[in-house]
Amino acid sequence: MAHAQRLDDDLFLIDTQYNETPQTIGVFLLTGERPALIETGPAARVETVLDGVRDAGLDPAALQAVAVTHIHLDHAAATGELVRRFPHLEVYVHPVGAPHLADPARLLASARRLYGAALEQLFGQVIPVPAGRLRTLADGARVRLGDRTLVALDTPGHARHHLVYHDQTSGDMFTGDAAGVALPGAHYVRPPTPPPEIDLPAWDATIARLRALRPRRLLLTHFGPHAWTDELFAQLHDRLHALAGVVEHALADGLDEDAVVARVQRWLLDDIRTHHGAEAAGRFEVIMSTRLSVLGLIRYLRTGRDG
């Protein structure tokens, strides 16, 4: 049975228990006049999400909207299945991401290159979202979810199709992957850097923009609420560039891909042990494997910084 953690009177965090691991992928539920989910999680965990909605005291059929921060499968793979079950849902997404929810063939082909035969086991069956249910949000657009009016912010760096949803009234900010990965109970953040769209200057600009808005609380898909906002953004910037530096030096040393991954794994493990504790390393690996993070940075260093 899923558990919905109440964060505010109108806000719940549902743990999808992704890959049978707690506190890895969260879905946020806003109740009120226009009940909505922010993120959907993997299609493989849709029943867990719906149980979480019920646990919060809401019939899932009462949901009116879904908003995804971006279309990576850990954030949005269940969108099509939710719309199949509840055809009235409106789906909010970045304009670049919308075509890939309507026709996920290219998205799935790209993901299969990364996850191979484990794709369906991890993320489930990803089905198209009818184009008529999609609502694209430009930078600065306002959207009513629950009883809140959120501002969509175009926030590239992790992906070109990334939105952050900012509640200017409460100071809450639903950050997707733009604010990195941080687990409850410690002040440590790690940047997720999968291929194919990592862009360090764009991410630097996103971090600066979000930090300047001085949010009261960051609501991370990976994972949960964090109030140490300024320190988190500072750490994220520094660790993003430190991680890229380790990869760049490994490539300069002539290491092949496996050897680069091994070097980065040692560096990350030492970093996590120093700042967070060894227990957390496994959950970070479930959320974003070192190999995927390295592959994203290798691609950026070889091609992205020139284009």
What band does 307 get if pLDDT is binned at 50, 70 and 90?
very low
pLDDT of residue 274: 81
Provide the token pair at 33. 């006049």
Residue 279: is its pLDDT beyond 80?
no
The 10s digit of each residue's pLDDT in 247-277 is: 999 999 999 999 999 999 999 988 888 877 7
Domain 4-234, what architecture?
A: 4-Layer Sandwich (3.60)
What band does 11 get if pLDDT is binned at 50, 70 and 90?
very high
Query: Quick one: which of 52, 46, 37 has its CA closest to 1?
Result: 52
Average pLDDT score over the chain = 95
**CB–CB of 126/43 below 8 Å?**
yes
Mean pLDDT of 242-251: 97
pLDDT of residue 303: 87
What is the distance between the alpha carbons of residues 150 and 113, in angstroms, rounded to a whole number? 35
Residue 1: is its pLDDT beyond 60?
no
- Segments of the chain assigned to CATH 3.60.15.10: 4-234
DSSP calls for the chain: ---EEEEETTEEEEE--GGG-SSSSEEEEE-SSB-EEE----GGGHHHHHHHHHHTT--GGG--EEE-S---HHHHTTHHHHHHH-TT-EEEE-TTTHHHHHSTHHHHHHHHHHHGGGHHHHH----PPPGGGEEE--TT-EEEEBTEEEEEEE--SS-TT-EEEE-TTT-EEEEETTT-B--TTS---B----SS---HHHHHHHHHHHHHT--SEEEETTTEEE--HHHHHHHHHHHHHHHHHHHHHHHHTT--HHHHHHHHHHHHHHHHHHHT-TTHHHHHHHHS-HHHHHHHHHHHHHTGGG-
pTM for the full model?
0.95
As a whole number of Å, the CA-based R_g of the chain is 18
**CB–CB of 300/203 below 8 Å?**
no
The 10s digit of each residue's pLDDT in 83-125 is: 999 999 999 999 999 999 999 999 999 999 989 989 999 999 9
CB hemisphere CA count around 281 (13 angstroms): 15
What band does 304 get if pLDDT is binned at 50, 70 and 90?
low
Neighbours of 144 (CB within 10 A): 15
The 10s digit of each residue's pLDDT in 205-226 is: 999 999 999 999 999 999 999 9
pLDDT of residue 305: 58
What band does 293 get if pLDDT is binned at 50, 70 and 90?
very high
